[in-house]
Structure formats: C-alpha cells, structure tokens
Amino acid sequence: MSFFKSIQAELIKLKFPPILWLMGFSLCSVLGLVLISHILDINNVVALGKNPWTKVWTAGVSIFSVFIANPFVIMLISAAVFIEHQSNTWKYLYTTPKNRSHLFYAKLSAIILFILGTIVVLSLGLLLCGYILNFIFPETEFGYYTPPVLKLISKFTHTVISLLGVIGIHYFLSHRFKGFLVPASFGVIAFIVAIIIGALNKPIALYYPYTYPIVSQEHNMFRTNNVGIVDYGWLNNVEVFSIIWFVIFIALANVLEVKKQVS
C-alpha cells in the first residue's frame, strides 16, 4: 500500500504544467496530422469492402511511433526527474523511512503509467477522428464498420515495448545529471540520429535503442527488410533488445542511486 501511495504522489507531481503542455502538444500533433491528412486525401480513405478504421489506426500509430514517441518520452522523463532536482527534493526524500529503491521505482512506475495514459487518450482521439470524418464525409462509412480496437491495442503495446530501452536510458541519464538541458539535449540529438539510421535500412538499427520505435513495426515509411528483424512469435528481436536495454539501465541507475552520497 505504501508503494501505491508513493506512485499516486508521483502522478500528482506529473501534473506539473510543462508536462501537461507536452502531453497536449504531442496528442494534438498526432491527431491533427491524422485528421488533416485524411481530409486532404479523402478519396483514398474510401475503399470498397475495406474497413476505413484501419487507415486511421495505421496513420496514428505510425506518426506517434516514428516522430512523436521518442521526443515525448525524452522530454517527459527529463522534466519529471528535474522537478526533484530543481527543488532539491532528493535530500528530503532520502531522509524519510522509505528506502531509495522504493522512491526510485515509484517515480519510474508513475512515468510509465503517464505514458500509458497518454496512449489511451490518443486512442480515444483516433476514435473521435474517425467519427469526425464520418460526419464530414458520410461516404467514408466509418459508422458502418466496427473499429478494430484490439488491433490498435496490440500496435500501441508493441510501441510501448519498443520504447522501454529509451525509457531506461533516459531515466538513468536524468538521475545522473541535475539539469534538464543535458539529458533532454542528448535525447533530441539521439532521436535525430535515429531517424537517419532508420532510413538507412541497415542492421546497425538493431543496436541503437532510439531506432526501436521506428523499425519494430511496419509503418510504411522506412524500409526495414535489411535490418535483420526476427519474429519470435508475438515479440521480435528489436523488442527483446529494448527490454534488455531497459533492464540494464534501470538496474544500473538504481544501484548508483542507492549508493549516491546526498549532502
């Protein structure tokens, strides 16, 4: 119960205005691009005998995974940990009876829950986009088809798994550097490099965690046939590598945080 209360406390901290603005901007960017692109190309949305929701789902997941997910996670984690650095709260937190690992994993859990919550809101927004398109263009027949919700959940689940490596790295960096600028700047540069590497269609993408959200699924934006992606059933090797990076960096960050001298 104490751990869950700590998560609740951390979620309250994530109501920090810049974080809410980041969330709103990310959601509006994806939903706006999906809606505008479909309105401008409405004739290609309609296909005889095909569920129009599939294109909306695919566009939403692709835009988020390729262009928004990395920057969103990088800025979110940098800002979330910076809240403690800015107010020098770590000194107070580490004087409480709770051990450091408890506080460390409570904040991590809150961040992951916030990311999941953002994706839930995004999913509802994509659903709304479909009904808006149906209202403006009845010929699209969104109302005659059932939205494949399970398919959307599956796609976003894979996106979250592919993001775990980036989450682990930036949670580590944000604890190592007291300022917001260093981990955020490093992440933005790493993301730009990831776009370049993702476009190269080379095996190097397997060893660069920032490319994982870009190449783990087929987004019809970059060719990935030469990357060397191997499916292991429901997961593929890119997602397995993402989990491994996450475990390594979170474990390392926890050990260093427990041993850190706070004065």
Q: Is the pLDDT of residue 129 over 90?
A: yes
User: What average pLDDT does the structure give for the chain?
Assistant: 91
Count CB-CB contacts under 10 A for residue 10. Answer: 21
Residue 98: band (very low, low, confident or very high) from pLDDT cuts 50, 70, 90: low
The domain containing residue 220 runs over which residues? Answer: 2-259
Number of structural domains in the chain:
1
What is the pTM (predicted TM-score) of this model?
Answer: 0.94
183-214 as b/e, with b when 16 or more CB fall inside 10 Å?
bbebbeebbeebeebbeeeeeebbebbbbbbb
In a 3-state reduction of DSSP, which class is residue 236?
strand
The total of other beta-carbon atoms located within 10 Å of residue 13's CB is: 14
What's the whole-number mean pLDDT along residues 90-114?
Answer: 81
Token pair 């976003």 in the structure block, residue: 156
DSSP class of residue 49 equals T
pLDDT digits (tens, 9 = 90+) for 209-242: 999 999 999 988 888 999 999 999 999 999 999 9
Identify whether the C-beta of residue 215 lies closer than 8 Å to the C-beta of residue 242. Answer: no
Rounded CA separation 206/227 (Å): 7
What secondary structure letter does DSSP report for 45? T
* CA 151/CA 245 separation, integer angstroms: 26
Ramachandran quadrant class, 141 (left: phi over 0; alpha: psi -120 to 50; beta: rest): left
Two tokens at 62?
């692709």
- 195-208: per-residue pLDDT in tens? 999 999 999 999 99
